[in-house]
Chains A and B, each alone.
Chain A
Amino acid sequence: MSDPTAPLVLEARGLAKCYGHVTALDGTDFEVRGGEIMAVIGDNGAGKSSLIKALSGAVIPDSGEIWLDGARVEFSGPIDARRAGIETVYQDLALAPAMSIAENLFLGREHRRPGIAGSLLRLLDRQRMEREAAEHLQQLGIGIRSITQAVETLSGGQRQGIAVARSAAFARHVVILDEPTAALGVKESGTVLDLITRVRDRGLSVILISHNMPHVFALADRIHIQRLGRRAALVNSRDIAMADAVAVMTGAVEWPATLQTNAV
């Protein structure tokens, strides 16, 4: 469980985004504390995906503010957000299938050999990357036979595990997971859910976007319910029944403000 008095790590206020006549975000707020799992749920078209893209730098909001670790940030692209310590696992396009696990973990952040071989000849330090990749996967409890095997030889659950592990390895503040269990079977989902808990337990904040209510309720400390481009409710996951969360999501009921957990 997370600490309910932990300071906010990532906060957004009044985010708005329009695509032509379509309003995707209508002044939505968002927050996540240090070391908590924040689930984001919402119907299709509620603006979940636009919200997440704004937080991960993939979309630039028309207006509104984003604060990371107490400082105002403006991301001009996903690389910016990554540099600031926010890692995102995008649905379906996380990994390069024909490349090895170690190569995927360090893709775009390769280590070079020490000395002139690295600085002048720009040669890679494969051994270091493979060693560190193996250590990192072991710490997260991901069992892999060989770190040099191609990602395409892994099962769907193992692949997702590698993608989550990569984000956890490099995130300093927040890991954003977009539908991490959508394509997985029951058993594989269980492994990935355990992994997400372990990532949180290392002190990282996790933003989990999911359609799967049992997964959301099994993992999340708090739930952000998005509806019509705004935050309809922010609740402790143990304070709301699954059916009620769905009702708020669809607009069947409005959740009383007294039962919500907004910090301000």
Chain B
Amino acid sequence: MIVRRLAFAGPLVALLLACTFFALQSPRFLTGANLSLVLQQVMVVGVLAIGQTLVILTGGIDLACGMIMALGSITMSLLAVKHGWHPAVAIAGGMGVTTLAGMVNGLLVTRIKLPPFIVTLGTMNIAFAVTQLVSRAQTFTDLPPLLTWLGHSVRVANTPIAYGALAMLLLYGFAFVLLRETAAGRHVYAVGNNLESARLAGINTNRLLLSVYMLSGLCAGVAALLSIARTGVGDPQSGQTENLDTVTAVVLGGTSLFGGRGLVVGSLVGALIVGVFRNGLTLMGVSSVYQILVTGVLVILAVATDQWSRKS
């Protein structure tokens, strides 16, 4: 229990240290407007990271979630703009497509018994290619207001907070309860701890894994909507940095890449750490190449800490 609490405290301490550091460096960092900007920059990766956490907790990995998200946002824009569907139906259609893509991942993992790394590496490329083909590599503009509604803000204490950020926090709360307080959630951990013993304990491991990959697909669908809301366009090139940023967020959040250990709220902290570093370094005038470099160092540090703490 103590170990588990520490596993969560570590990332939180890192986040607070980062915030303190940037607050000292730039007076603009700790303003409401800037922090709400960080939250907005984080919301797409944050939502994708929920699905990624579920998959990694089972001992797998989803390398395709960002590309599936791009496919989703193109589907939504295409249906709404080119085919003139009602935007609500277009959104549902996009989420259906991403969930279906997650289902393909899940079926390949559970039925054909392929390693998740290979499966999602394949579907990542397929999803990217399909996105380019379907959109003819064109960005969709002039989207109906419903598709960008989540980008609007509500003012709390004179600080604008995007609906999308609130939606992300809501989803984290939901995932937290699901993982902690339901049998299915505990089975996610059991499968990641030991697949065979979970099966022998009577858990339908194939059904569980399939649902986890489908949920990751659904998260990609929600993230697609958030991405459209943030940028105002349906962009076939989106999702490329987010794809691996989700893994970074999950790992920084203290979830083990070997599965079976971790907390979903840790991934939110992990996503915020990345977001705070990017934002803080920008405020300090550090070029974006160095931000990517710092992210890389952070990941290696996080995994090293994870392994080191497990050994001792």
Query: A residues near B, CB below 8 A?
Result: 78-79, 82, 88, 90, 93-100, 103, 107-110, 112, 122-124, 126, 146, 148-150, 153
Contacts and interface: CB of A to CB of B under 8 A. Distances in A.
Nearest to B186: A103
| Interface of A: prevailing SS | loop
Nearest to B189: A99
Interface residues of B, number: 23
A80 to B, nearest CB: 10
B193 A108 contact: no
A46 B200 CA distance: 25
Contacts of B130: none
A107 B190 contact: yes
A108 B189 contact: no
Nearest to A117: B181
Contacts of A124: 181-183, 186
Given A107-B203, A109-B202, A150-B4, A93 B183 contact: no
Contact of B200 (A93, A99, A110, A150): A93
A122 B182 contact: yes
Interface in B169-213: 177, 181-184, 186-187, 189-190, 193-194, 196-198, 200-203
B211 to A, nearest CB: 13
B193 A98 contact: yes
A32 B55 CA distance: 44
Interface of B: 1, 3-4, 177, 181-184, 186-187, 189-190, 193-194, 196-198, 200-203, 260-261
Contacts of B194: 93, 95-97
Nearest to A111: B183
Most buried by A among B1, B177, B201: B201
A82 B194 CA distance: 19
A150 B186 contact: no
Nearest to A78: B200
Contacts of A112: 183
A119 to B, nearest CB: 12
A90 B190 CA distance: 16
Q: Closest 9 A-B residue pairs measured CB to CB?
A: A96-B193, A108-B202, A108-B201, A110-B183, A93-B197, A107-B201, A96-B190, A98-B261, A123-B181
B233 to A, nearest CB: 38
B182 A96 contact: no
A263 B3 CA distance: 54
Contacts of B181: 123-124, 126
Contacts of A103: 186
A99 to B, nearest CB: 6
